Amino acid sequence: MRTGSDRFVGREHELDRLHAMLTDGRLVGITAQIRGLGGIGKSLLAIEYARRFGDSWPGGIFWSEADPAWATRSQTADERLARRHAVLAGFATSLGVAAVPGNLAATARAVERALEAATAGERYLWIVDDLPAGVDQATLECLLPASPAGALLVTSRWMALDALPNRLDLGVLEIEAALALLTCRRPPTDPHERSEAHALAVDVGCHPLALDVLGALVRDELSLTPYARWRCARRTRQRTRSPR
């Protein structure tokens, strides 16, 4: 599994909703999407889900990075099959399968056999991270797990796969979670600094990546009032960049 973050905050509702989507007993071959802008926390949410709900997948959780080349729309059935083989081959090491040199299909078949033995009919989850824009329904279907015991979770900035029923559109953080993320490395020393930190979180739209970067900058700030200083610095830069 990928390493998560000790600064993960909020998203409790999203985690519970995602779990409900993936464990809906009425559906077979369940696919769920986490969608949203870059830096919004899609991959981190998937990692945190795996950490917290791993026991719900006794057959295991398998992680794969999507290939940017999948965005090409003009693909044949053979090309889609090759993409499936690439995903399967990516699990070879974790399943103890030796790759067949120069034969991706053979490696994929060996992985499928190992996967069937390893999961032993138990529920398991595939996570395909960072699905590129342009992927169509046919490409997504070729990524489905090899047996009905498997479910698929994808993360993507691509918002056009509306045919899938289980969509979790990830937005910015709630203000309290945003403030917690911003200040976790360096708590405010007094109410005024807490107020400035709150305002700074609002200034950047409670965007997780922006907050995390600012939190690192504030941690290394020598000023005794780092949140106030960074708010002032941002306003100064914005005035400088404004057209005259």
Kindly tell me if the per-residue pLDDT of 179 is higher than 90: yes
Which CATH superfamily is 12-169 part of?
P-loop containing nucleotide triphosphate hydrolases (3.40.50.300)
Average of pLDDT values for 13-33? 84
d(CA 6, CA 12): 15
Distances (CA, A) of 244 to 32, 145, 235: 47, 56, 16
Task: Tell the burial category of 241 from Cβ atoms under 10 Å away from its Cβ (0-12, 13-18, 19+).
Answer: exposed
Kindly tell me if the per-residue pLDDT of 160 is higher than 90: no
Structure-token pair, residue 67: 């290939």
Angle, CA of 172, 14 and 31, to the nearest 5°: 115
Kindly tell me if the per-residue pLDDT of 244 is higher than 60: no
Query: For residue 187, what pLDDT is reported?
Result: 95
d(CA 65, CA 9): 24
Kindly tell me if the per-residue pLDDT of 17 is higher than 70: yes
Kindly tell me if the per-residue pLDDT of 212 is higher than 80: yes
Query: For residue 223, what pLDDT is reported?
Result: 86
| Contacting residues for 137 by C-beta, under 8 A, at least 6 apart | 161, 163, 164
| Contacting residues for 55 by C-beta, under 8 A, at least 6 apart | none
The model's confidence at residue 16, banded by pLDDT at 50, 70 and 90, is very high
Q: What is the per-residue pLDDT across 96-155, written as a single tens digit (0 to 9) for each?
A: 999 999 899 999 999 999 999 999 989 999 999 998 888 877 778 888 887 888 899 999
Domain ranges of the chain: 12-169, 175-241
Kindly tell me if the per-residue pLDDT of 165 is higher than 80: no
